[in-house]
Structure 1
């Protein structure tokens, strides 16, 4: 699928799902990494991440197009086009568009940190659990301003 095919698809989906024409441009943007698509407020163009089509197929692509067209049509009508607006959420439901796109299979999920660092204050024995290391030369106990020391490092299974 190329940009011309995408433009035709967006125009078709707009007429079928919204009953309104799409009068601007839709194209693939290879630089999009964390999102399926985006609606540009200033130019009214729609950019789509081609990886979503390649890895998840036509149904996912149409869902992303519907989502971006919700932003497009509401913005042009002067209604609430942002994710938190009720107009936007109602239109998403009406046309069957997803609120969020699926995650890509080739992009691994960021896993929770497996280690836990236990720090203790030398003065008052206050315990601090952290996932990231604390600079003990720079930071002190929040309770008594005493010196912090690394007690132990735990790893979760």
Structure 2
């Protein structure tokens, strides 16, 4: 169980979530966009911790109470809903102009990275973080150069 003995994975998974969340947050900070470094790290870390807690609870329920109907997927669904609410708060509409959608999307994808880290799916987390960085940095520059005025 989680609290009975130290498990290296219980340290590595949140650490990976923080590092990968920082990759996304660093780009946001450099561009002076909302939901920067600390926000992205906390979203990834929180998502990872909730996922780890759900997996641990499922294990405990199965081992101690022989319950097979505990479902960590419900916790993940709750995380996604909560992050959606957080992201919606960053979207602003004024005078027909909508701003903050990319910020909301980065919060959402950072949550997914945290969930992947919590599950121990490091390859998925790394690929997602890498693709997110690609979308934000080179594609962001292309968008700014060629599509901003249209």
Q: TM-score range by the shorter chain?
A: 0.3 to 0.5
Larger radius of gyration: 1
| TM-score, normalization by structure 2 | 0.34
Identify the structure with bigger relative contact order (alpha carbons < 8 Å, sequence gap 6+): 2
Which structure: greater helix fraction? 2
